[in-house]
Copies of this chain bind each other. A is one copy, B any other.
Amino acid sequence: MAIHFEENVFTAPTGFRAVGLAVGIKESGAKDLALIVSDRDTSAAGVFTTNRVQAAPVHLNRTHLQSGTARAIIVNSGNANACTGKPGDQDAARTAQELANALSLSAEDVLVNSTGVIGVPLPMDVLLKGAQEAVRGLGEGGWGDAAEAIMTTDTRPKTASATFVVEEATITVSGMAKGAGMIAPNMATMLGFIVTDADLDPAELQSQLSRSVQTSFNCITVDGDMSTNDTVLALANGASGSSLSGDDLDAFAAALDCVCTSLARQIARDGEGATKLITIEVTGAPDADSARTVGLSVANSNLVKTAVFGRDPNWGRILCAAGYAGVDFDADRTTVSIVGIPIYASGGGVPFDHEAAVEALGADEITIDIDLGAGDAVATLYTCDLTYDYVRINAEYTT
């Protein structure tokens, strides 16, 4: 199977339109409303935050996804509609209903997403007026604007697309996402939206999405803080015509993984104040969960992240963070490399060219490889360095 993949590109799947607008929710005047609509019914799937405190749109989407179908995704940035109580739930429901009316759909066909300040009521007049405008502005070329409109403190839009061919039909899987940090003053949310013209039933799409999220969006961390709004949605409208099974389904899975992993990496790289993307490869783990747990522990370590910022090939901190992950392994059988240079083995540091390592740590992308020598399972985690700018962005007095 041949998959064509591109980062920072959004190839429109057949039968979808989009738009991104500035409607006045953000005080800055930046784009703040995105709308994605399929011209026919879709299979719909979602993965949501496991935070005990969940925002109103998460409540609504969980309910609306019970049917396994949807037609439209609306997203506002600038306000998370989180911790807004019953009025917040009513606002999310009203957004779905009024957008459904404008699109001649039922409210259950609409998925609603919000990201931005926590605890402030949505400016409903502005939002609903904007939604009407968005319906009028829908087009096949609106994807770039939509990817911009979902941003909060992201420094750049995040998109990725993959295509493959089945029986002469080209199938497209495209996605957009926004930032992983819980951002000042109270902003919340990692959001990801995947649209495809593949033909999949809802259960298959949900299973594919859950699997792919586990090795992509669930493998990134900026600061270990999981927001009240984190959401990944997928819509598959079948407009490509080919029903997928066997090898073709494998191709879809691979395409979806390319898109989700790319978006996840883009989010990690654009973490608050980040200067470097850190990729942590854990191998030799007793099982996949253990591999991911060890990797996340290292990825969440402030000491590892500051060491990378400081270009310090510090295996002590890496090994220590692996050690408190709660996974059973033997430090004497573990090896650690950074930027490809072995720095720890056989229970102690190994000699290496320190100057060369410091030089290599100047790169934008840093890899840390940890082999636990305890099995065959692997995991790849993504994070960023911890910098002065992280503190500045999150400590600046802004509420």
Contacts and interface: CB of A to CB of B under 8 A. Distances in A.
Report copies per complex.
2
B52 A310 contact: no
A391 B395 CA distance: 13
* Interface size, A (range): 35 or more
Contact of A52 (B224, B316, B323, B392): B323
Contacts of A346: 85
A390 interface: yes
Contact of A395 (B188, B306, B321, B322): B306
The DSSP consensus for interface residues of chain A is loop
B397 A226 contact: no
Interface string A316-358: 1101111111111101100000000000101111000010001
Given A85-B347, A391-B309, A228 B323 contact: yes
Interface in A343-391: 344, 346-349, 354, 358, 386-388, 390-391
A51 to B, nearest CB: 4
A332 B85 contact: yes
Nearest to A118: B316
- The winner among A52, A85, A306, A327 for most chain B CB atoms within 10 A is A52
Interface stretch (A164-172, A258-266, A296-304): A296-304
A237 to B, nearest CB: 34
B391 A316 contact: no
A54 B331 CA distance: 9
A392 B387 CA distance: 9
A316 B85 contact: no
A313 B54 CA distance: 21
A329 B52 CA distance: 7
A182 interface: yes
Given A53-B319, A86-B347, 13 more contacts: A52-B322, A53-B323, A83-B331, A84-B347, A117-B316, A119-B315, A119-B316, A119-B344, A186-B316, A224-B302, A309-B391, A313-B399, A358-B397
7 contacts: A51-B323, A83-B344, A119-B348, A182-B317, A185-B312, A225-B317, A307-B395
